[in-house]
Amino acid sequence: MSARDQIRMSEAELDAFLHGQRTLICATIGRDGAPHVIPLWYVVRDGDLWSWTYAASQKVRNLERDPRATLVVEAGESYDELRGVMLKTEAEIERDPDFVAALGLALYERYIEGPALPASVLASIAKQAPKRVAIRFVEYGRSSWDHRKLAVAP
């Protein structure tokens, strides 16, 4: 088995990894062809990564021109603990304010600890939704790695 095959994550490992991490790095293609790279919060729904952002943002303008995006989610500090995934995706933009608000709520529920979201956060989500879009990243290719699998046996 090649080292590449040895470090590849299984479907179950990848699912657990994506549910356990907090930020993805999203690269889109700018008007001049240069990469535009930004971090985003995300949720996993039916195997797809979803995020939200302001409709007037550069990343949305880029995705409207060219829906391709490459995502990276990674963890680890030293080489022997590096793990992650790079996903080649095609982005689908959802503009319905009710859908966007529901996704915003799901994001905040994932990232804000506590028994219930404060009323101020709920009001903020509702206020922001008309100015935002939801982005579904539909995967068409991937590369994953988990260097912890390379541990040398004693």
Main-chain phi, psi angles of 37, to 5 degrees: -120, 125
Tell me what pLDDT residue 151 has.
66
Q: Where are the domains of the chain?
A: 3-147
Tell me what pLDDT residue 86 has.
98
Rounded CA gap, 138 and 11, in Å? 16
Kindly indicate the confidence band of residue 116, based on its pLDDT and cuts at 50, 70 and 90: confident
In CATH terms, is domain 3-147 a member of 2.30.110.10?
yes
Which pLDDT tens digit goes with each residue over 8-60?
999 999 999 999 999 999 999 999 999 999 999 999 999 899 999 999 999 99
Burial class (CB in 10 A: 0-12, 13-18, 19+), 105: middle
